[in-house]
């Protein structure tokens, strides 16, 4: 990280955390919209579950976490949880499109 604001109070720390949370939630929402789009390109449940792709993403974000100074284990856990949720959502979208 190039620049971290040096807070002068707990209120400033909390304001920075709130700012980051806003960005993280917005990015999670954006990621979810792309996941929904992905369902339209997949032909079967196995493609939706995407075991190889999940492994690739986990390896990539774990490596990236190490490069950026984040905890790789925490990052992997967060991504596994997020991906599991998105797979369930994508599967629902996929099945809905298949039945239409």
Give the CATH number, domain containing residue 53.
1.20.59.10
What average pLDDT score do residues 83-89 get?
Answer: 94
Angle at 93 between CA 90 and CA 96, to 5 degrees: 150
Q: Give CA 96 to chain center in angstroms.
A: 23
Domain encompassing residue 17: 10-99
The position carrying tokens 């700012």 is 19
Is 61 among the domain residues?
yes
Task: Give the global pTM.
Answer: 0.86
pLDDT tens, residue by residue, 7-57:
999 999 999 999 999 999 999 999 999 988 988 898 898 888 888 999 999
The total number of structural domains that make up the chain: 1
Is 62 among the domain residues?
yes
Is 2 among the domain residues?
no
Is 89 among the domain residues?
yes
Is 56 among the domain residues?
yes
Is 92 among the domain residues?
yes
Is 53 among the domain residues?
yes
How many other CB atoms are there within 10 angstroms of residue 70's CB atom? 15
């Amino acid at each position: 990280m190039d620049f971290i604001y040096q807070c002068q109070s707990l209120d400033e720390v909390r304001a920075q955390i709130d700012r980051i949370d806003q960005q993280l939630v917005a990015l999670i929402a954006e990621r979810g919209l792309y996941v929904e789009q992905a369902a339209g390109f997949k032909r079967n449940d196995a493609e939706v579950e995407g075991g190889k792709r999940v492994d690739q993403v986990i390896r990539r974000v774990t490596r990236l976490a190490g490069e950026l100074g984040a905890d790789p284990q925490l990052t992997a856990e967060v991504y596994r949880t997020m991906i599991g949720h998105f797979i369930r959502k994508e599967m629902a979208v996929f099945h809905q499109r298949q039945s239409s």
